Amino acid sequence: MNLNFWLIQAFNGISYGALLFLVGSGLSLIFGVMRIVNLSHGSYFLLGGYVALTVIWTTGSWALALPVAALAIAAVGLVMERVFLRPLGYDPLRQVLLTVGFAFLFQQAALDIWTGNNFDINPPDALSKSIQVGGLFLPLYRVFMIATALAIGVVLWLVMEKTRMGAAVRATVDDAQMARGVGIDTSRISMLIFSLGAFLAALGGVIGGAFLGIYPGLDFEMLPLAFAVVIIGGMGSLGGAAIGALLVGLADNFGKALFPEVSYFTLYAPMALILAVKPTGLFGRE
Amino acid sequence: MSAAMTSQTLKVLVVVLALAATAIIVPNTNSFVILVATRALVFSILVMSVDILLGYTGLASLGQAAYLAVGAYVTAILATKYQFGLGFDFWVVVILGILVSAALAAVFGLLAIRASGVYFLMITLALGQCVWGLAYRWNSLTGGDNGINLRQRPKFGIDLANEVTFFYLVFGFFAVSLLLMYTLVRSPFGRSLAGIRERELRMKILGYNTWLHKYIAFIIAGGFGGLSGVLWAHTAGIVSPVNVELPTSVDALLMAVLGGSGTLVGGAIGAGIVFGLREWLSTHVTWWQYVLGGVYVLTILYLPTGLMGIPERIRQRRTRAGNGVKKLAPVTS
């Protein structure tokens, strides 16, 4: 009984961490490459969920909603980076403020198009069942979340570590100026990473929409959580984002279950402490 | 040199005239304008405190709402749980709100001041979220998501329930805050802050304890944030986690940029415009937030020095001297 509580909470925490990895990994890469804090990242999450809803309403296909929403929001990210962020040049503060201006615009657009109602994204029946492992009933959907995050994490890792493209990204994270010096097109890298981040966040929105719901204000609720992941894990580090997501997912779950009154405090206070001691995050490179 | 002096005197004169005009005109308008002006003035104190950090010290904070919230929660909790601060003891609450917020800033500053640039942005965000988490979840103290309703405003000889009386009180606080902050940034201490903003390393080499300067500026900004919080609690009549969530901090930062960072009064102008737009537009149209978001985006794209920078830019264009546009605030990472 008592053991079951811990196991279930741990499982929930890990699956929530899987979702956070989708949101956080993109944010982390964007920071690593462009040195900007993308405050519209939560909006991508929310918009992804909304676009998926529209796809589901019109076609009835949840499986189709996943790629369509992610690609649509990736396109939004691409346009934002090319048309608005890039022309500002290297001016992080203005870029950050610009992303938050967009977050407000997206918020209003979402309100206009999808109203202020609270929606749920219903996954297909096949994923709504539970499976029994040992004495525990685990919702299949959460298993799916973990599997998805794992798959994406592995693919990202392979691309980053094994391809020329990935090497260029890592070089840009380490020293953008030097990377430009050896002929890496950092502007193109920024564009790709920014839309990849939007893609992953939107994917997270579609997947997370099943148990978080999709509602106005979710954007600015997810954003600080995504930041917690990035900061704990270290900015620009994929492995760090994975560990950060796991820690935040577990901390969030156990915090809410064990000491609800201070649960968010127990999440953000370590984050601030880590930042103060090691600004680049636990696993970030200097 | 004397030309610069007179130009400064002229600017001060314009501000004083604008303040006088506000004090005379607003009470004679309708209650809607008085309400919006009161809110804008209260929030302006927070925005100006953000500007002390952003415009004069070069630190962009994303967690300044925390200090407003602490001041507001102190006021609300004392008023509802202990019936304290509803008479002459309101002034004790004012002091208390300032001190508690400044104390919080003193703690947070120990963590935050080490960082600069984008890292400062993120650590202040994290610290702000700590306060938000407590406000949101600590139900027994803060009322959680519902917040705390203040049923009455203080009464001490004058009755603050009267909106015009309350406006004058807020106006007084605003004017005093502006004067204090203006004195601060013009003082040798303020000059050192500007030096840190421009080039921290040089100030270090000159022997300044730049950490201590930034730390003190951070605490002072926190104290003013607390003052705005005390006033906000009585202005809005409700204190809730909305006051401390990320968009509120972002608002304060954007208002400072919109008006023009490093000008103090720019923050007040920014707050006035945003509150005016928000309250007025939202009663007329449903798409008001497009206007607000658009204003922010356009300001950052085309007017990095804010509205207060417009005269300077016109002058520059006339003389065709400067091709380099002054940066918003230097960020080093």
Residue whose C-alpha is closest to residue A176's, from A160, A158, A189, A161: A189
> Rounded to the nearest 5°, which phi and psi values hold at B159?
-105, 110
Q: Which residues of B touch A227 (CB under 8 A)?
A: 122, 125-126
Average pLDDT over residues B113-142: 85
Instruction: For chain B, positions 229-248, list CB contacts with chain A under 8 A.
Output: 245-247
Instruction: Count Cα atoms within 13 angstroms, Cβ side, for A90.
Output: 11
pLDDT at position B310 over 60: yes
What integer best gives the mean pLDDT of chain A? Answer: 85
State how far the alpha carbon of B28 is from the alpha carbons of B25, B32, B72, B159, B301, in Å: 5, 11, 28, 18, 37
Out of A102, A262, A275, whose CB is closest to B297?
A: A102
Q: Which residues of A touch B248 (CB under 8 A)?
A: none
pLDDT at position B1 over 70: no
Q: Does residue B137 belong to the interface with chain A, where contact is any CB pair within 8 Å?
A: yes
Beta carbons of A91 and B328 less than 8 Å apart: yes
Out of B121, B125, B136, whose CB is closest to A264?
A: B136
pLDDT at position B165 over 70: yes
**B158 bridge partner residues:** B156
CA distance B124 to chain A (A): 8
pLDDT at position B107 over 90: yes
Beta carbons of A265 and B137 less than 8 Å apart: yes
Q: How far is it, in rounded angstroms, from Cα A115 to Cα A200?
A: 24
pLDDT at position B159 over 90: no
Query: What are A88-143's pLDDT values in tens digits?
Result: 877 777 888 888 889 988 988 888 888 878 888 888 877 777 777 777 778 888 88
Q: Compare all CA atoms of chain A with the CA of B327 and give the residue at the minimum distance.
A: A91
Q: Which residues of B touch A265 (CB under 8 A)?
A: 130, 133-134, 137
Query: What are A150-209's pLDDT values in tens digits?
Result: 999 999 999 988 888 888 888 888 888 888 888 888 888 889 999 999 999 999 999 988
A283 — pLDDT class (breaks 50, 70, 90)? low
Place of tokens 């208002």: B255
Beta carbons of B289 and A231 less than 8 Å apart: no
**Residue A124 DSSP class:** P
The pLDDT value given to residue B4: 57
A281 — pLDDT class (breaks 50, 70, 90)? low
Average pLDDT over residues B188-193: 89
B5 — pLDDT class (breaks 50, 70, 90)? low
State how far the alpha carbon of B46 is from the alpha carbons of B256, B296, B307, in Å: 10, 18, 18
Q: Does residue A228 belong to the interface with chain B, where contact is any CB pair within 8 Å?
A: yes
Average pLDDT over residues A249-275: 80
Q: Where are the beta strands (DSSP E) in chain A?
A: 130-133, 136-139
pLDDT at position B332 over 50: no
CA distance B138 to chain A (A): 4
Q: Does residue A211 belong to the interface with chain B, where contact is any CB pair within 8 Å?
A: no
**pTM for the predicted model, two decimal places:** 0.86
